[in-house]
């Protein structure tokens, strides 16, 4: 079944997008505490690692506490990874408490869910492999900079494969279990990542630009001698 076939099947089942949106919110139970706990976790994680990474860059407090930049980065990596596992657990619990939508439980949706989940995980895992631990977990804030920008897969598809891959995995899970509330939480994930990128991308770019300026200044100093 092609992408167009899946789209047509979904339109046949749900009608127009406006009709789908009109009934969507009836499948989200806002009385469940687990929904808010999961949303809080989604909001907390990128906020936490951005604040901690900025503090590390400005004060080197993790480097000092851990006894080295690489050890500090590994400690932050373990913390971020653990928070991610907790967030995924809370997401699963939230989905369990939410209404099931039988209209989503159709073969085209299942196929789309599998594709999104599989592709999302490929993006996440391949980006982690390409960047390594320090590249994945904010090593540049610790002064552990990569020699060159990674341009191969999956970075030749998107500059932020881990974030978009994570969003696709959340969305695929929501569709697989036919839980509209999961779609809503997936959108929260996407929005939060897009906000995080507005802070991370220019700051990271400046870190590397500063290194290039320092290299250029050092080269000029050698020439002047």
pLDDT number for residue 19: 67
CA distance 133 to 29: 38
pLDDT band (50, 70, 90) for residue 14? low
pLDDT band (50, 70, 90) for residue 104? confident
pLDDT number for residue 127: 96
**Residues 213, 217, 201: CA angle, nearest 5 degrees:** 5
pLDDT tens, residue by residue, 187-217: 999 999 999 999 999 999 899 988 888 888 7
Does residue 11 carry a pLDDT above 70?
no
pLDDT number for residue 224: 63
pLDDT tens, residue by residue, 125-179: 999 999 999 999 999 999 999 888 888 899 999 999 999 999 999 999 999 999 9
pLDDT number for residue 151: 83
Domain extent at residue 212: 3-224
User: Exposed e or buried b for every residue in 63-74, given b needs 16+ CB within 10 A?
Assistant: beebeebbebbb
Count of domains observed in the chain: 1
**Residues 145, 52, 164: CA angle, nearest 5 degrees:** 70
Percent of the chain residues topping a pLDDT of 90 = 73
When the pLDDT of each residue in the chain is averaged and rounded to a whole number, the result is 90
190 CB contacts (<8 Å, ≥6 apart)? Answer: 167
Percent of the chain residues topping a pLDDT of 70 = 87
């Amino acid at each position: 079944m092609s992408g167009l076939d899946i789209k047509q099947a979904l339109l046949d089942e749900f009608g127009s997008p406006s009709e789908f949106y009109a009934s969507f919110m009836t499948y989200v139970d806002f009385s469940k505490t687990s929904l808010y706990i999961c949303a809080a976790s989604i909001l907390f994680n990128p906020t936490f690692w951005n604040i901690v990474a900025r503090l590390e860059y400005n004060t080197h407090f993790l480097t000092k506490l851990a006894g080295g930049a690489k050890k500090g980065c590994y400690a932050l990596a373990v913390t971020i990874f653990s928070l991610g596992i907790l967030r995924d657990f809370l997401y699963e619990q939230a989905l369990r408490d939410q209404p099931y939508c039988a209209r989503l439980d159709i073969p085209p949706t299942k196929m789309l869910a599998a594709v999104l989940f599989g592709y999302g995980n490929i993006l996440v895992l391949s980006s982690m492999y390409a960047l390594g631990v320090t590249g994945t977990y904010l090593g540049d804030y610790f002064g552990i900079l990569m020699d060159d920008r990674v341009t191969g897969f999956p970075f030749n598809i998107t500059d932020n494969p881990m974030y978009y891959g994570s969003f696709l995995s959340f969305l695929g899970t929501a569709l697989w279990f036919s839980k509209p509330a999961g779609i809503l939480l997936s959108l929260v994930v996407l929005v939060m990542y897009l906000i995080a990128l507005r802070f991370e991308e220019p700051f990271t770019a400046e870190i590397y630009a500063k290194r290039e300026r320092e290299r250029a200044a050092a080269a000029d100093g050698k020439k002047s001698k």
